[in-house]
Amino acid sequence: MSASVPVALSPSRANDFVQCPLLFRLRTVDRLPEPPSAAAVRGTLVHAVLESLFDVPSSERSRGAADELVEPSWEALLDSRPEVAVEFEADVRADIVGQARLLVERYFDLEDPTMLHPAAREVTLRANLGGDYPIKGVIDRVDVAGDGAIRLVDYKTGKAPRPQYGASAAFQMRFYALLVRDVKGVVPSMLRLVYLGDGQIRENSPTSGDLDAAQAKVQALWDDIRDAAQSGVFSQRRSRLCDWCSFQPMCPAFGGTLPDSDPQAAARVWLGMPGPAVS
């Protein structure tokens, strides 16, 4: 993020803070490096293929055409992120590509891309809720019907969560809907989550009241983040997700020692100054 762009909160970073404020600090304020995960790299590859699929003429959007997009998308990913080739052995890289092919294949069981004409793909939106709560997000796909109804679509390469664990994804989609309402002045008619891991689709039609509640949650979350940045206290919150956290060795909850935090980086969050602290 350029230094001239105001600090903005994304749904991923918001979920980080909800999961564990210390994770938010290490990942977003301190910006400590993290090794790439195979699951994240696979997800990036699948998203790139599905984005490129809609560059193909609609009548030619077949399973075979999608499969042919995997290799060039993988090569482009390696060119842009050379650390992937360094981090993963050849057999792991081959497994990532193989699993991505299976997920792309499954996509065709869930939607018919020959019937879809997205208005936008991988679109970045920014808004400033209430004039003091900047947010941003990247929406995988935006469909607009003939009557102007908007559908927001997000691809997930994992399995659909059980209902009691679906709050994070639901919050993400309402976050995107907030962006659309603020930027376009329209409440999206449908929020669609496409889970390629197990071939499920989850949909929700939000109301203005739903988005009002989501906005209140985002603003309260921003207030909590700013309070933490001002005080310098980002509490640790243990959960089962700690097993997948790359910062576990330095976490005090596991006997680790935290590095000193950059007060200027924290001040950018606290004061809402331009900078890269929350992206």
In the chain, the N- to C-terminal Cα span, in Å, equals 7
CB atoms inside a 10 Å sphere around CB 34: 12
Please give the structure tokens belonging to residue 174: 């309402």
Specify the pLDDT at position 1.
33
In terms of C-beta density within 10 A (0-12 exposed, 13-18 middle, 19 or more buried), how is residue 89 classed? exposed
Backbone φ and ψ of 227, nearest 5°: -65, -40
Domain total for the chain?
Answer: 1
Q: What is the pLDDT of residues 236-273, one digit of tens each?
A: 999 999 999 999 999 999 999 999 888 888 877 766 65
Contact indicator for 232, 266 with CB cutoff of 8 Å: yes
C-alpha 110, offset from chain centre: 21
Q: Does 65 reside within a domain?
A: yes
pLDDT higher than threshold 60 for residue 278? no
Range of the domain at 73: 38-115
Q: What is the pLDDT of residues 171-195, one digit of tens each?
A: 999 999 999 999 999 999 999 999 9
pLDDT higher than threshold 90 for residue 2? no
d(CA 74, CA 71): 5
Q: What is the pLDDT of residues 92-132, one digit of tens each?
A: 999 999 999 999 999 999 999 999 999 999 999 999 999 88
pLDDT higher than threshold 60 for residue 233? yes
d(CA 71, CA 51): 14
Contact indicator for 188, 137 with CB cutoff of 8 Å: no
Q: Does 84 reside within a domain?
A: yes
Specify the pLDDT at position 262.
81
Q: Does 6 reside within a domain?
A: no
Q: Does 273 reside within a domain?
A: no
* DSSP H or E stretch at residue 231: helix 208-231
Q: Does 260 reside within a domain?
A: no
Specify the pLDDT at position 150.
97
Q: Does 94 reside within a domain?
A: yes
Sheet holding 120-129, edge to edge: 120-129, 133-144, 150-156, 190-195, 200-204
Specify the pLDDT at position 5.
47
Specify the pLDDT at position 165.
76
The region of weakest confidence among 32-41, 159-168, 183-192, 226-235 is: 159-168
Q: Does 208 reside within a domain?
A: no
Please give the structure tokens belonging to residue 196: 């390629």
DSSP-derived 3-state class of residue 7: coil
pTM above 0.85, yes or no: yes
Q: Does 197 reside within a domain?
A: no
Higher pLDDT, 76 or 269: 76
pLDDT higher than threshold 70 for residue 277? no
